[in-house]
Amino acid sequence: QKSASNTGAQGPPGTRSPHHLAAAPHLVSTPRSPSPSSPILPGPTILTSRSTPPTPPRSSFHGVVTAAALMDPKSPDDRPEAAAPQPLEWRFAQVFGERGAGEDVQEVDIISAIEFDKSGDHLATGDRGGRVVLFERTDARGNASRTELERQDYSVPRHPEFRYKTEFQSHEPEFDYLKSLEIEEKINKIKWGQTANNALFILSTNDKTIKYWKVQDKKVKRISVMNLDTSQSADNGTTSSSSTSSSRGLPNGGSSEKSYNCANNDLPFPPGGYASLRLPVVVTGQELNPVARCRRVYAHAHDYHINSISNNSDGETFISADDLRINLWNLEINSQSFNIVDVKPANMEDLTEVITCAEFHPTHCNTLAYSSSKGAIRLIDLRQSALCDNHSKLFEEHEAPGSKSFFTEIIASVSDIKFARDGRHILSRDYMTLKLWDLNMDSGPVATFQVHEHLRPKLCDLYENDSIFDKFECCLSGDGHRLATGSYSNLFRVFGCTSGNTEATTLEASRNPMRRQVANPTRPTRTLTSLTRAVRRGGENAGADGNGNSNDFSTKLLHLAWHPTENSIACAAGNSLYMYYA
C-alpha cells in the first residue's frame, strides 16, 4: 500500500483516465513484489517513474522486485514532469475546386457537408446544389504490391492523397403545396454506412428528406462483334472474322457490282455485302465506372428542418433529428419510423428550447446524445423506455452569477457535438468555445477552449448581421488527443486536449496555412484528478486580429472533418475543399 502512494499513484489504477496515461509515457507498470511470508502470486500493477529508476535487488525469481526496492524518497511533487507534446506542424496537401482570382462563387457550389468514412479511404462532400461528390484515396498501402511492402522495413511518412471518384445529384428543389413552403436541395448532413460487397453506402439529407445511396463500380459494357469493317470493329475492342468483302454473289443478295450503305455514313457496307449476318454481342470490358443508385427514400417524418442524422453501431438503424423531435429508422424500412424524443410543448408559446444536434454512441447501440439551444447535452438510453423524454445524464455548465447578458443564451446554443472514438468523451461547439465532456463526470466540462474570444466585444455587430447564428462544426482526431473547429476569415483552430498539452494553433484555409500563425502564450492550468479541467486556452490568441487583420465575416469555415486514423484535416472554404496533414 505504501509503495503505491510513494510512487505517485493517486488512486487505484482503474480510476485513472486513459488520457492521463497516454499523456504520460514515462509511466510504466511493474509487478508488485511478494511478501516474504506469502507465496508468489500475480497481483495488481503499480506505477513507477522511468526518469528515476530504482536499483532492483538480486532475486532468484526473475521479474519480481521486492517492495523495499520500490520505495522512492522523492515525493510526486519533486519528480520531473513529462515533457509537453510539441504542436503539430501542419502542411498543405491538396485542394479541389480552388477559386481563381476575381472568380465569383456560385451559391449552389458552396460546400455544406464533409464526412470521412470509417476507414479514411473515402471522403464525401455535399453542396447547396444538392450534389454529393465522392473522393477516394490513392496512396493507401493496401494498393502497393507485396514485394514493395516487404522492402519497407519502416513506415514511410506520406500524407493522404485523394482523387475525384464520382458525383451524383442527391436532392432536387421541391415545393410543399400544403404549407406553401419551398424545400431547398441543400445537403445538410452526410453519413457513411457500412461497406458491403465493395459497395459504398451513404445517407444524405436536406431539410425534409433523407436518402440512402449505394455507389458501386460497374464494368462498362460495349457492343461488339458486329458486321462492321475491321477498322470500325477495332475501335470497339474486337475484330469480327466475318468483316471481309467478297467479289462473288452472296446468299443475302449482295453483288460485287453494287454497294449498299446504311443510313449512318459512319458504318458503310463493304462492296458486295456481307457473307453472313451477325447479331451484336454485348461484351463486358475491364474498365470500371462508379454508379450511384438510390436504395431508399425516408420522407414525410419531420415537420421541421432536419439538422442531423447519425448511423447506429448496429449497422441496421439510424436517427434523424429536427428542432423538436428525434426519429429512429430502420435502414431497410422507409415506410415508418419511431419517435423516441419529443420536446414539443402542448402550447408552442411555452417553447424555450430546441434540439440542435443528435449523435449515436460509437460503440453502444442503445446510447445517444443530443444537444439543445440552451447549451445542454442530454444522454439517453433506449433501453429505459420507448419514448426517451427523460434523460439518463445531463451535461450543462452554469453561468457565473451576474454574467448574464442579452447574448448569453444565443452564444450558449450548441451547434455541433461529436463523440470521441473511444466513446468516453463528447466534444461540443457553441458560438464562442469548444467544450470537452467526460461521460463519467456531469458536473462540468473537462476542458474549455476559446475559439475567437476577440469577437466578444463585437457581439452586437454579429447579431445585427446574423453572424451570431452561424453553426460551426467540430471534430476530434482518431486518437482523441486533438480537436479542431472553424472560425471567420477562413480560419480554423487546432487544440491539444491531453494533460499538459497547451497546443492552440490557428490555420488558414489556403495553400499557406501557417501564414496567420502567431505566438500563443497559455495560462496556467488547473487540474481535477488526472485530467485538465476548465482549461481556457486560445483566448490570448486573437486569431486574425493577432496580426492586425480585420475579420471577414462573409468568409467562414463552418465544415471540417478529421481523418479517422491520421493527422489529416479536410475543410471547406466556400466552394473549395482544402486538405492538410501533419
In SS3 terms, 22-69 reads as HHCCCEEEEECCCCCCCCCCCCCEEEEECCCCCCCCCCCCCCCCCCHH
Look at residue 224 and tell me whether its pLDDT is greater than 90: no
Residue 4 lies in a domain: no
Instruction: Report the pLDDT averaged over residues 362-381.
Output: 96
Q: What is the grid cell recorded at 444?
A: 462540468
Instruction: Report the pLDDT averaged over residues 237-249.
Output: 41
Q: Is 517 exposed, middle or buried (0-12, 13-18, 19+ CB in 10 A)?
A: middle
Q: For residues 77 and 369, give the distance between their C-alpha atoms in angstroms, rounded to a whole number.
A: 39
Residue 153: predicted pLDDT: 54
Residue 238 lies in a domain: no
Q: For residues 502 and 538, give the distance between their C-alpha atoms in angstroms, rounded to a whole number.
A: 9
Instruction: Report the pLDDT averaged over residues 175-200.
Output: 93
Average pLDDT, the chain: 78
Digit-coded pLDDT (tens) for 490-505: 999 999 998 888 899 9
Residue 462 is part of a domain; what is its CATH number? Answer: 2.130.10.10
Residue 143: predicted pLDDT: 53
Instruction: Report the pLDDT averaged over residues 321-339.
Output: 96
168 versus 548: the higher-pLDDT residue is 168
Instruction: Report the pLDDT averaged over residues 248-274.
Output: 53
Compute how many other C-beta atoms are within 10 angstroms of the C-beta atom of residue 227: 21
Digit-coded pLDDT (tens) for 95-108: 999 887 778 889 99
With a pLDDT cut of 90, the percent of the chain lying above it is 54
Digit-coded pLDDT (tens) for 7-45: 444 444 444 444 443 444 433 333 444 444 444 334 444
Print the domain residue range for 565.
111-140+159-214+298-514+551-581
Q: Do 530 and 537 meet the contact criterion of CB atoms below 8 Å apart?
A: no
Residue 249: predicted pLDDT: 43
Digit-coded pLDDT (tens) for 56-90: 444 333 333 333 333 444 444 444 455 667 889 99
Residue 56 lies in a domain: no
Q: Which residue has the cell 449552389?
A: 108
Q: How confident is the model at residue 538 (pLDDT cuts 50, 70, 90)?
A: low
Digit-coded pLDDT (tens) for 456-472: 999 999 999 999 999 99
* 425-434, 547-556, 570-579: segment of lowest average pLDDT: 547-556
Residue 487 lies in a domain: yes
| DSSP-assigned states of every residue in 517-551 | ------PPP-EETTEE-S-EESTT--GGGGGTPPP
Residue 185 lies in a domain: yes
Residue 21: predicted pLDDT: 37
Phi, psi for 234 (deg, rounded to 5): -65, -30
Q: For residues 397 and 400, give the distance between their C-alpha atoms in angstroms, rounded to a whole number.
A: 9
Integer angstrom CA distances of residue 295 from 196, 204, 210, 238, 332: 14, 12, 11, 36, 9
Q: How confident is the model at residue 178 (pLDDT cuts 50, 70, 90)?
A: confident
Residue 32 lies in a domain: no
Look at residue 266 and tell me whether its pLDDT is greater than 80: no
Residue 144: predicted pLDDT: 53
Residue 11: predicted pLDDT: 43
Q: How confident is the model at residue 262 (pLDDT cuts 50, 70, 90)?
A: very low
Residue 547: predicted pLDDT: 45
Q: For residues 309 and 558, give the distance between their C-alpha atoms in angstroms, rounded to a whole number.
A: 17
**DSSP secondary structure code for residue 102 in this structure:** T
Instruction: Report the pLDDT averaged over residues 561-568.
Output: 95
Instruction: Report the pLDDT averaged over residues 51-59.
Output: 43
Residue 492: predicted pLDDT: 96
Q: For residues 338 and 325, give the distance between their C-alpha atoms in angstroms, rounded to a whole number.
A: 10
Instruction: Report the pLDDT averaged over residues 444-448.
Output: 94
- Residue type present at position 455: L
Q: Which residue has the cell 475559439?
A: 451
Residue 539 lies in a domain: no
Look at residue 540 and tell me whether its pLDDT is greater than 70: no
Produce one character per residue of 243-275: b if its CB has 16 or more CB atoms within 10 Å, e if not: beeeeeeeeeebeeeeeeeeeeeeeebbebbbb
Q: Largest Cα–Cα distance in the chain? A: 117
Number of domains in the chain: 1
Residue 66: predicted pLDDT: 36
Q: How confident is the model at residue 124 (pLDDT cuts 50, 70, 90)?
A: very high
Q: For residues 442 and 444, give the distance between their C-alpha atoms in angstroms, rounded to a whole number.
A: 5
Residue 557 lies in a domain: yes
* 7-21, 98-112, 139-153, 225-239: segment of lowest average pLDDT: 7-21
